[in-house]
Structure formats: C-alpha cells, structure tokens
Amino acid sequence: MSTGTRVRVWTWFLIVGLVISGLTAIPIQTEVAVGRALLGSDWRGGGLVPAAAVEWLGTLDVGITRTAAQAPFMFYGTDWLAFGHLMIALAIVGALADPMRNRWLYVFGMIAALLVPLWAAVFGHVRGIPIWWRFIDASFGVGAFVPAWLCWRWTAELEDAARGRTRG
C-alpha cells in the first residue's frame, strides 16, 4: 500500500471514528434502554458484569431516566458534544483533500487526543465519575491519537518525496 493510500485510509478511519463517537452522544436514553434489554433490568448480565459496573450502570439508568422526565433540556449538552465531534471530523476532511498542505490538522488532532485523558481525569473527578469509567473515556483519546500521528508521520514522508529527499 502506498504512503498516500495509507494516509487516506487512516484519515478516513479518524473521520469515521469521530462521526460515530459524536453520533452516539445523541440517543443516550435509547442506548441505556438497549443496555438494559441486553443485560437485564438489574444490569448484571447473568452475572457477567462486575459489581462496580452494575452499580454504575444502575446509577446511570436512574440518572438518565430522571433527567429525561424532569429536565430533558439537559441532553442539549450532549447534542452539542455530538456537534463538536462532527465539526472536528469535518475539519479533518481538509486533511483528506490535501494532506500535505493541511498536515497541521493532524497536529490539531493529536493535541485534542492528548487532552482527552486530562479532561476525563479532571472533570470526571469533579463529576464523581468512577476512575475505571474515566479510563474508558480516556481511551478514546489514545484511539484518536494513533491514526492522527501515523498520518502526520506519513505526510512528512510524502513531503520529503515531493521534494526529492528520503528520510533516514
């Protein structure tokens, strides 16, 4: 696979990941209902789900149910979270269109990805989110950093090739 093809494939991976991640922030009530249907109303999943996760999923279920009934406007915040993901994905399309000229977008993606664990640590603590859940949230930053870094590196190779140099 050529370097240019690798850049396009991994840029698409990054864009699709951002879109999927963003879109999952909208149907929170539906996602909880599906989880409850799959794992059971007690969230135990036939004993497969660890006790700490059962407790947290139950807390989420109650909180989301009450919020939907008493203050559904609060979900507007997650609608904006989704919008932010979609706009970042749209920006990354610029790198897809011209990776060498828009190589800075990969740097932007890497910086944003590196800040995800910090954001999860700080605001997860402030909001009382279990540490293991914050690690799950932080993993999205790691997952986004890798394709952004690979594309940034490969785009440097494309630039060098365009200039007639080789990397050592």
Q: Kindly write down the DSSP assignment for every residue of 25-68, as one continuous string.
A: TS-HHHHHHHHHHHH-TTS-GGGTS-HHHHHHHHHHHHHHHHHH
Q: How crowded is residue 133: how many other Cβ atoms within 10 Å of its Cβ?
A: 15
Ramachandran sector of residue 6 (left: φ over 0; alpha: ψ -120 to 50; beta: rest): alpha
pLDDT of residue 75: 96
pLDDT value of position 164: 85
pLDDT of residue 167: 58
Cα–Cα dist 99/156, whole Å: 10
- Sign of the dihedral defined by the CA atoms of residues 37, 41, 44, 50, in that order: positive
The answer to whether the CB of 167 falls within 8 A of the CB of 156 is yes
pTM: 0.89
pLDDT along the chain (168 residues), means of 10: 95 97 95 95 94 95 97 96 96 95 97 96 97 95 95 95 75
Q: Give residue 121's pLDDT.
A: 96
What pLDDT does 94 receive? 95
Q: Name the token pair of 8.
A: 């396009």
pLDDT of res. 44: 95
Domain residue limits, the chain: 3-161
